[in-house]
Amino acid sequence: MALEDAKKQVDRAVTAEGFRGHSYENTFAGVPSFLRRRYAKDLAGVDIAVAGIPFDQAVTNRPGARLGPRAIREASALQAPDAPYGWGFDVMEEVAIADHGDMAFDYAAPGEVPAAIEAYAAGILGQGAAMVTLGGDHSISLPLLRAHVAVHGPLALVQVDAHTDTWADDDVGRFDHGTGFYKAVREGLIDVARSVQVGIRTDNPDPLGIAIIDAAEVHETGPKAVAEKVRGIVGGAKCYLSFDIDALDPAFAPGTGTPVWGGLSSAQAAAMLRGLAGLSLVGGDVVEVSPPYDPAGITAVAGAHVAVELLCLWAWTRR
């Protein structure tokens, strides 16, 4: 069946009639939508939209994450047309998923970007769809949180990262990928008592009360124990999951702006994310994939897998 379909299907990213089911196109050809989902701005009938925000002008080190959404989409085609491994259900058959494309913005007016991201996310959420976002640098998570909190109220945060991104910054005019969660706490967007950061391996003397499971603890106790600890912290609270690809060790994700050794392996990240099944996830993002430093494309492959796990986590409690 798949072979016969492969002979006939062409660019289902633009020709598919619905938002469910697999595409059997050649992985090396066609329009590179995420998992070959249909592109759609009108989200009527869509459960969850995958959207790109190709912005990287808030980085402290190497740029390039603006190219992340495109690279992640291309890498995602390698996963089709199989059901995601280890979940016991096929998210592409059971959930209506659309690729919303990338947010448009004026690259020469970076100060306008935070408000534009918030409005863009509000437009998606306002159509009744949930949202998984492909970054972009980690600064995009703050306006995304603002849009989600406007719908759901304050959220628990599950952040997988090498850095806490809670360095102090009380300048409301600054947009920095290392201070977004400091501002999120100060704005009351995050339920600190229900939030946790995993994979941390850089020093920040004030974690603002957010629980930290550093990379050493992940290595010592294993991903299953970490997932159990995260679920215990978050409990039944609605949560947002932000995955900075530099949570992975540079051996598994060299294509990122601020790599730090001693990080998680891809296997650890996969096991941990699957162990979080049951969280009340309302949205999430994967950020900091920087293709210029990723000549073999392995970071984009990891980012695509993370995004699929986010789709599965969202769908798990809504099947």
Both tokens of 157, joined, read 């945060």
User: Any known ligand binding at 99?
Assistant: no
Task: Tell me the C-alpha distance between 94 and 205, whole Å.
Answer: 44
User: Any known ligand binding at 138?
Assistant: yes
Helices within the chain (DSSP H only): 2-8, 12-15, 68-76, 91-94, 113-125, 141-152, 180-186, 215-221, 223-234, 266-275, 298-316
User: Any known ligand binding at 246?
Assistant: yes
3-state secondary structure of 39: strand
Q: Check if the beta carbon of residue 278 is closer than 8 Å to that of residue 80.
A: no
User: Any known ligand binding at 42?
Assistant: no
> End-to-end alpha-carbon separation of the chain, Å?
26
User: Any known ligand binding at 214?
Assistant: no
User: Any known ligand binding at 47?
Assistant: no
Task: Tell me the C-alpha distance between 232 and 14, whole Å.
Answer: 42
Dihedral angle at the C-alpha atoms of 239, 243, 247, 253, nearest 10 degrees?
160
Annotated binding-site residue numbers for Mn(2+): 138, 161, 163, 165, 244, 246
Annotated binding-site residue numbers: 138, 161, 163, 165, 244, 246
